[in-house]
Amino acid sequence: MFTVLVANIKGGCGKTTVATHLAAAFAAAGHAAYLADADRQRSSLGWAARRPAGRPPVRALDWTREVGAPPPGIGRLVIDAPAALKGRQIEALVGMADVVVVPVLPGAFDEQATRRFFERLEPLKAVAKGRTPVVVVGNRVRVGTRASGRLGQFVAALGHPVAGSLRDSQFYGDAAAGGLSLFDLPGRRALAVRADWEPVLALVEAAASAPPAPPRATTAASAKPLVWRASDDGGSSGG
């Protein structure tokens, strides 16, 4: 099983959009794709429920109350993390992941929150020792604007691989409404927008093909089931 964690403590940065598209891309490539929704907004669960039967299947896992054990037979698991993660939550979810994908929107508020997230993420042993790579993705970017230029400088300074940027496009909202992704849509226009995903998928696949890391030691903290408390629900995961 290969696990991708999509996370950022900033709500509304597009975690669900990125998570659903990764799961759909894995399914389209023939993997047994699962999508775990750990956000009480339940956006990924809603997307999976709307997904048409004729499309490559993405099976949903409801982790909105408690992170469960992945069922057998999973090829690729994508975890849609909640916003405002606390320290133990970050550590537990990163401990399950083979790669962490961090979406970030243009703008000072998003950059500030993302910087705080990396301050919590980078000291974790799996990340600090390079066992779990972190990939940064610019989201809802309007090419040629000053905001996109500032975002490019910001993500480059984070010191982690940058998978380019995903343009701001109405295709995302239209696809989400039908439980679809850009990987399900026909036509040249959708194909052009889908090209933004090529560097994202290339970095994720590079992590998937890397030599397996040594088994992670189970600590007392990681052995406990991770339950979301009411105070942990710090905001929406965005779209």
8-59 tens-digit pLDDT = 999 999 999 999 999 999 999 999 999 999 999 999 999 999 999 999 999 9
Question: What pLDDT is stored for residue 86 in this prediction?
Answer: 81
Question: What pLDDT is stored for residue 164 in this prediction?
Answer: 87
Per cent of the chain over pLDDT 90 is 75
91-146 tens-digit pLDDT = 999 999 999 999 999 999 999 999 999 999 999 999 999 999 999 999 999 888 88
Distance CA 65, CA 39 (A): 8
Within a 10 A sphere around the Cβ of 13, how many other Cβ atoms? 29
- Give the residue-averaged pLDDT of 149-172: 92
pLDDT bracket for residue 218 (50, 70, 90): very low
Task: Tell me the torsion sign for CA atoms 37, 235, 148, 144.
Answer: positive
Per cent of the chain over pLDDT 70 is 88
Distance CA 5, CA 20 (A): 12
- Give the residue-averaged pLDDT of 213-231: 45
Give first-to-last CA distance, the chain, whole Å.
26
- 101: tokens are 């994908």
Domains and CATH numbers, the chain: 2-208 (3.40.50.300)
- Give the residue-averaged pLDDT of 146-174: 92
- Give the residue-averaged pLDDT of 168-184: 95
